[in-house]
Structure formats: structure tokens, C-alpha cells
Amino acid sequence: MKVASLADVRNHFSEYLDISQKEPVFVTRNGRITAVLEHMSDVEMEDYLLERSRKFRKALDSSRTTRGSMSMETYRKSRKV
């Protein structure tokens, strides 16, 4: 786990992205943690969006009703993920 100020992350963003491949980087503003940089794979991104994005879920629900449903496994196979 790494903790860095927003100013430091802004000035060395590429370095912190590299670090985030191995461990989370907690970003602070005025001494308080306000964000986290964390590595995410494509599969993890889908799960993240399903959990947190209302817009993504709404689009997914809409596609299910207009085109019929599709399991996540079938979707991943069709996208070769």
C-alpha cells in the first residue's frame, strides 16, 4: 500500500500508474484520502461497472428487454474476453 499527495500523483502520474499495477495507491488531498489508484483487468472492469454504474446497468437491462437476455459467460465468449 502506498500513500501519496494529490500534487505528487499529478506530477508523477505515470510512475504511480506503474506502482498501482503492484499495489493500491491511496491519494490524499489536504491530508485526507480522497481516491485510490488500483490496477483493474477488463473482466474486473465489467464487474465494477455492474456493481457501481447505474447508467451501465440501465443500458444492459434495456438491451436485455429489446434483444433478449444473454448470460455474462456468453457475452464474454462473444467478445473473446
Distances in whole angstroms, Cα of residue 76 to Cα of each of 30, 41, 43: 42, 13, 9
Three-state SS annotation for 4-41: EEHHHHHHCHHHHHHHHCCCCEEEEECCEEEEEECCCC
CB atoms near residue 52 (< 10 Å)? 9
pLDDT computed for residue 68 by the predictor:
62
Q: Give the phi and the psi of residue 46 in degrees, each rounded to 5.
A: -60, -45
Percent with pLDDT over 70 in the chain: 90
For the stretch 45-69, pLDDT in tens is 878 887 778 887 787 777 766 666 6
Report domain extents, the chain.
Answer: 2-37, 42-78
Q: Does domain 2-37 have CATH number 3.40.1620.10?
A: yes
Between CA 23 and CA 16 the distance in angstroms is 10
pLDDT computed for residue 65 by the predictor:
67
pLDDT at 10 over 80: yes
